[in-house]
Structure 1
Amino acid sequence: MKTQIGIAGAGFAGAVIARELAETNRYEIHVYDERDHIAGNCHTTRDDDTGIMVHHYGPHIFNTSRQDVWEYVQRWSQFMPFTNRVKAVTAAGVFSLPVNLLTINQFFQKKLTPLEAESFIKELADNKIQEPQTFEEQALKFLGSALYKNFFYGYTKKQWGVEPTELPASILKRLPVRFNYDDNYYNQKYQGIPVEGYTKIVERILDHPNINVKLKSRLNPDDKKNFSHIFWSGPMDGYFQYKLGRLRYRTLKFERFVQDGDFQGNPVINYCEEHVPYTRITEHKHFAPWETHEKTVCFKEYSALCEEKDTPYYPLRLKNDLELLKQYVELAQSENNTTFIGRLGTYRYLDMHVVIGESLDLVRNYLGKENSQWPRFSQNPL
């Protein structure tokens, strides 16, 4: 008889682990998801009215420098090359992001070379800040006040719902500044978008005789008695029925609109001014430039604090959240035969390539070991 495994969540974290276990032919895996679809927040479908591939929970551009992860996703679908070139609408005009040589020259109305631009930005930087502790200090130390106020202050305040002085410096470290004309938003070796969408990839990953998928169904912690091991990609605090309180997330609200032709001429345009209520507008047909569509589907994105019935997106991870997280991690460490995985299960902001990589690493490192030896987390949340 095959070993019974339960998995909460049919997103990439749960699907990859399910497939890796299924291919050993030693396990029977039962994947549960409360939603009526697979692929989690990467869910994509063709719009009925326009034929455009819509990313229902916000756009996803696959990018990674791990060759094994890139080869893994291509196993399930053809990927087309795609470079994410974001534009920013600011009080001073429209510019390219991330901040690059063109942005600097246009913003300051100069004609600087790479070396001149680097020296110029160093002169603008606040050198009194030695070790930045907050988002704002990080920005002022490396960009100076003008670029920070124009590109980051308002957008960050809208996105996170707090003053940038309350956010850790680590958030801004993910945003590159370039002293050349490279306007590729990502700094990864491989980038692309699947021709058939992300849901088709997850569907193929889960298509195995040893995998049973149950949608609109919930795997409860009490169900552990039915399985040798469970993998939990739902909220960590939800596993414990929020008995210590709720870990805070930001969520996104979407305002959809359809127009003829081309609305904004770019997949993503950020709106950096604080008085504009939405953070960005995404135009989804531009995520598939190899296709032609007469109409266009766009979404305005609004960031908000995640309430009980909202979809959680971004872990807030401020001081109080991290203190509560430590308590939940202690509870999780005492659980038997349970591994917490993915963005929600480990309360970390993770792009999908990281989720896939961690899931592959987890199975590769522990496959064949006794259930008691499997870790409580795919990666340490703290």
Structure 2
Amino acid sequence: MRSQNYLIIGAGFSGAVIAEQLSKNIDCSITVLDERNHIGGNCHTERDGATGIMVHTYGPHIFNTDNKEVWDYINRFGNFKNYTHRVKAIYQDKVYTLPINLHTINQFFGKNFTPAEAEAFIASRVVKIAEPANFEEQAMTMIGADLYKAFMYGYTKKQWGCEPKELPASIIKRLPLRFNYNDSYYHGQFFGIPEEGYSAIIEKMLTHDNIEIRLNTRFNSAFDTGAYDHIFYTGPIDAYFDYCYGRLGYRTVTFDRNEAEGDFQGASQINYCDEDVSHTRVVEYKHFTPWEEHDQTVYFKEYSKETGDDDVPYYPKRLTADMDKLSLYQAQVAQLDKVTFLGRLATYRYMDMHHVIAEALQLAAKFIEKHK
């Protein structure tokens, strides 16, 4: 079989995994395009120029998974250090622990519940809905009106730019509710943060003689694809088709960078749940690398807004109108023989890093088996 020529659009985890797997297993040449001036996509990390602290350029990313195959795979490219993500929340000038756990419940209601008492108490306050139809209904069936109003309503409205009842129930299902004092934000079996950042990991994935990386290169319908045997596309699905059915809804994030001496807030992440506070959270990155020592600190206030033409898309909204448009785009995808759509943007789904990597590994394995 002759050498294959592949084009990969996007140098995030989806594109990097595909490139790494194909370059090792198929006689091929691979071109990786990215419209940004760096690899890594939204997982890009770099040292802050003023403080030397490792910063996650597009917001914090903590790797956590129960998938041992994915964990073993990602650890081939970097050393992951132990890190337990603990989040605080401010509501009406009081600090609470997230996710909602026994400490949160006791503090919020002024109680001294045992786990069983707390579970019974919350059960008595939830709303009974057989099939929750949206975010708000799902939250009310899980935690009741008081906790929902305090920790979910204002934050969610700021984050998504709409009433929570307009959002799908699936968004909140991934958030844990605990009746013990476990305050770890994630519950995966394997978790951590790469010692040298995510971009260093992706750089190693893309280091192969058969891989060419072209940054600052935007893919669009005018791009000449005739020389490629197959295309792997990880960008926004609507952009691929020049938004012919209209733009899908995304939220994006803007960042207000600040420096200070010492320790600004004592935690890596504090959510601001009051609706009248304009930012959603404050992230202080020195706390993500407790194995390092820094006299200074850098922290970012995050603001959520609708995605404009020149903004980086973050979170797919998946409202009813979005899903109607998505079905039209997916029908167009089904007509393409030599293009594979994968990843969060290309499939318009909310995916964590481990989901993205698992999907790319599975797709690569099928492609390799077919084209070896």
TM bin (shorter chain): over 0.9
Q: Which range moves more in the overlay, 47-56 or 316-325? A: 47-56
TM-score, normalised via structure 1 length: 0.95
**5 Å matches for 1:311-330?**
311-330=312-331
Find the counterpart in structure 2 of residue 99 from structure 1.
100
2:121 is paired with a residue of what secondary structure? helix
RMSD: 1.2
CA contact (8 A) 1:314 1:349 kept: yes
Tell me the secondary structure at the aligned position of residue 281 of structure 1: strand
Structure-1 separation of matches of 2:93 and 2:146: 10
Residue aligning to 1:54: 55
SS at match of 1:345: helix
Provide Cα deviations, 1:11-63, integer angstroms capped at 9, x if missing partner. Answer: 11001000100002411111011111000011111112111001110011111
**SS, match of residue 254 in structure 1:** strand
CA contact (8 A) 1:7 1:29 kept: yes
The reply on whether 1:234 has 2:235 as its aligned counterpart is: yes
Where in structure 2 are the equivalents of 1:245-324 lying within 5 Å?
245-324=246-325
What is aligned with 2:364? 363
Residue deviations 1:289-335 (CA, integer Å, cap 9, x gap):
11010100000000000000000000010000000000000001101
Q: Distance between the aligned counterparts of 1:175 and 1:337, measured in 2?
A: 38
Residue 22 of structure 1 corresponds to which residue in structure 2? Answer: 23
Aligned to 1:335: 336
Q: What residue in structure 1 maps to residue 184 of structure 2?
A: 184
Q: What residue is the counterpart of 2:158 in the other structure?
A: 158
Distance 1:219 1:207 in 2: 22
Determine the C-alpha separation between the residues in 1 that align with 2:245 and 2:84. Answer: 43
What residue in structure 2 maps to residue 36 of structure 1? 37
Question: Which digits, 9 at most, give the CA deviation of each residue in 1:82-107, with x for residues without a partner?
Answer: 11100000126211101001111111
Query: Residue 370 of structure 1: CA displacement?
Result: 4.9
Q: Secondary structure at the match of 1:363?
A: helix
Q: Is the 8 Å Cα contact of residues 92 and 107 (structure 1) preserved in structure 2?
A: no
Match of 1:196 in 2: 196
2:350 match: 349
Name which of structure 1's ranges 320-329 and 353-362 shifts more when overlaid on structure 2: 353-362
> SS in structure 2 opposite 1:224?
coil
- Consecutive unaligned residues of structure 2, counting only runs of 5 or more, are none
C-alpha displacement of 1:366? 2.9
Conserved in 2, the CA contact under 8 Å of 1:25 and 1:210? no
Separation (CA, whole Å) in 2 of partners of 1:367 and 1:158:
44
Given that residues 262 and 296 in structure 1 are in contact (C-alpha distance below 8 angstroms), is that contact kept between their aligned partners in structure 2? yes
Q: CA deviation at 1:140?
A: 1.3
8 Å Cα contact 1:34-1:216 kept in structure 2: yes
Task: Indicate if the aligned counterparts of 1:267 and 1:283 stay in contact, CA closer than 8 A.
Answer: yes
* Paired letter, 1:182: N
Residue 226 (structure 1) shift: 1.2
Query: Does the 8 Å CA contact 1:6/1:219 hold for their aligned counterparts?
Result: no
**TM-score normalised by L of structure 2:** 0.97
Moved more, 135-144 or 8-17: 135-144
Structure 2 distance, partners of 1:62, 1:102, is: 25
Report the alpha carbon displacement of residue 223 of structure 1 after superposing the two structures with TM. Answer: 2.6
Output the CA distance in 2 between the equivalents of 1:130 and 1:265.
Answer: 41
2:138 alignment partner in structure 1 = 138
Alignment of 1:107-122 (within 5 A): 107-122=108-123
Question: Paired residue for 1:377?
Answer: none
After superposition, the C-alpha distances for 1:198-219 in whole angstroms (9 at most, x for unaligned) are 1100000000011111111134
**Following the alignment from structure 2 to structure 1, what is the Cα–Cα distance between the partners of residues 59 and 219?**
26
Give the match's secondary structure for 2:226: helix
Shift of 1:368: 2.9
Aligned length: 370
